[in-house]
Amino acid sequence: MLGSQCLFVISKGLMMNAAASRKTALNAIHRQLGARMIEFVGWDMPVQYAGPLPEHLAVRTRAGIFDVSHMGEIEFRGPAALESIQHMTCNDASRLAVGQIQYSAITTPQGTFVDDILVHRMGENHLFCCVNASNQVKDYEWFKAHARPNTDVIDRSHDFCQIAVQGPRAIEILRPLTAIQITAMRYYWFSQGEFAGVNAIVSRTGYTGEDGFEIYVDPRHAEAVWMRIMESGRPHEIQPAGLAARNTLRLEAKMALYGNDIDDTTTVLEADLAWICRFDKGDFNGRQPLLKQREEGVKRRLVGFDMVERGIARDHYPILLDGKPAGFVTSGSPAPFLQKNIGLTYLPSDRCAPGTEFDVVIRDKPVKARVVPTPFYKRPKTA
Amino acid sequence: MYPKENLYSKDHEWIDVKGDIGAVGITDFAQHELGDVVYVDLPEVGDRFEQGDPFGSVESVKAVSEIFSPISGEVLEVNAALSDAPELINQSPHEKAWMIKMRIGNADELKSLLSAEDYEEYIKEQSSS
């Protein structure tokens, strides 16, 4: 076993050799903490510290701290900045107040995904997008090619390290470290100000399904900020968490992963993201085909499933509907908090109802699965 | 650390031979590399394997690895405890977490396996590469 037989499920093209990889400013800290490192889309990143199970559970019950500095940040300025964003993404950024954030997608003319992103409104015509690490270069090139004249598109990725602190204890851990009133900060809002003695952007966002914050700082301050958060988090037993836990957490919360659940072959409606598709905001790339798809009826949809029989569905495993090949699992893994095996896949729209049974082919054997409502996990409402 | 009475494969399985029956499991090195085991897929009694054939798989949260038969033979017994408690593989890889017992088809094949000492050398080399 092991060696070349070992499949790593959270991404394509992973190797143990990180010689040519980029390093975040927190790389030395990960190694000091004894993290197991892997190459992830060209970055040398921690996949785990204590282990994917304890890290996942720590985020659900206490707090986890993640280095997500590999993510990209792209800024838009100029008199046509908002207009450009409106044209290139499907959600309505004009509804954002300054300080507000929305989940959105950069769409192709076919209404499929260039990337899924977070759009932050910094000013009337000043916006900032957080994009996937895997698409940082592609998105920047796309933005430059499709932005309206009089728009400055600036790749700020090198200027930021990003640290995510996620879990029910995140707010208690971070509050003493900042002058920013994070207790009052609403979910999907952000602020700029002093954090751990340095200038930072702090947003109440995350990719785990828990309450939490994402903190953007100058790379020169990243180590010091991480250490301050760890110190503040010690009495709360804050847990450094890596990419493996990041993946199982987002899957339980049914958050899409570009390259797996969404890509340039899946439309925003097929991906079950109609809520970010604002047809009434004006024209945008892909609006026409998406409108047509809505009128004619979406033919397939991304659904969540549980395994009914024993087995773990993994990314790319084939699925059978009525015994016939019907696609493949887009994301699949054990769900550590829910203690069951879950996944996402596309099914024909008339077969998407919860309770629909199909098979996942696991090592040549069909194993029963069942469509379930999503998200699989929803964080408990606090008083 | 590695029981001296066992023989080991380069794929990190161990076999404990008693007469013409061998109990098979994965080594401490293997369970450590895998991380927390969440699932084990084992064969049925009566299944036959050649030396080197995959006979099952072990899964952690992030990865699935096949297990290869260290010898040719027929499965006589399967450890039922592992399906409810796969974590036994992490806790007791050389004892409680035996996976299958096989009737050894060809005793000569045992000569191609490593002693505990040679296996410890082997994994030392693996770890430093």
B12·A1 Cβ contact <8 A: yes
Sign of CA dihedral A134, A137, A138, A142: positive
Q: Which of A155, A171, A200 is the last residue of a domain?
A: A155
Residues A76 and A107 occupy one common structural domain: yes
Residues A57 and A81 occupy one common structural domain: no
Residues of B in contact with A9 (CB under 8 A): 62-64
Q: Is A285 domain-assigned?
A: no
pLDDT at A15 over 60: no
Residues A204 and A346 occupy one common structural domain: no
CB A331 within 8 A of CB A261: yes
Residues A307 and A165 occupy one common structural domain: no
- The confidence score (pLDDT) of residue A13 equals 37
Model ipTM value: 0.75
Q: Is A262 domain-assigned?
A: no
Name the residue in chain B with its Cα closest to that of A52: B61
Which amino acid, B101? K
| pLDDT 10s digits, A111-168 | 999 999 999 999 999 999 999 999 999 999 999 999 999 999 999 999 999 999 999 9
Q: Report the CATH number that the domain containing residue A191 is assigned in CATH.
A: 3.30.1360.120
- The confidence score (pLDDT) of residue A383 equals 52
Residues A83 and A147 occupy one common structural domain: yes
Collapsing DSSP to helix, strand or coil, B19 comes out as coil
To the question of domain B7-128 being in CATH 2.60.40.10, the answer is no
CB A312 within 8 A of CB A270: no
Residues A172 and A137 occupy one common structural domain: no
Residues A21 and A99 occupy one common structural domain: no
Residues A136 and A173 occupy one common structural domain: no
CB A344 within 8 A of CB A299: no
Question: Against a cut of 0.95, is the pTM above it?
Answer: no
Q: For residue A79, give its domain range.
A: 72-155
Residues of A in contact with B60 (CB under 8 A): 52
Residues A177 and A48 occupy one common structural domain: yes
Which of A 197-236 lie inside 8 A of B, CB atoms? none
Q: Is A52 domain-assigned?
A: yes
In B19-117, DSSP assigns E strands to 21-26, 37-41, 48-49, 54-60, 63-68, 73-78, 100-104
- Maximum Cα–Cα distance across chain B: 40
Note whether A146 contacts B: Cβ–Cβ < 8 A.
Answer: no
Q: Is A276 domain-assigned?
A: no
Residues A76 and A150 occupy one common structural domain: yes
| Least confident range of A42-46, A232-236, B31-35, B73-77 | B31-35
Testing the interface with A: which of B26, B53, B62 to mutate, by most A Cβ within 10 A? B62
Which of A 24-63 lie inside 8 A of B, CB atoms? 47-48, 51-53, 56
pLDDT confidence bin for A95, thresholds 50/70/90:
very high
Domain tally for chain A? 3
Q: Count the alpha carbons within 13 Å of A353 in the hemisphere toward its beta carbon.
A: 4
Q: How far apart are CA A19 and CA A110, in angstroms?
A: 38
A312·B58 Cβ contact <8 A: no
Q: Is A289 domain-assigned?
A: no
- The confidence score (pLDDT) of residue B84 equals 86
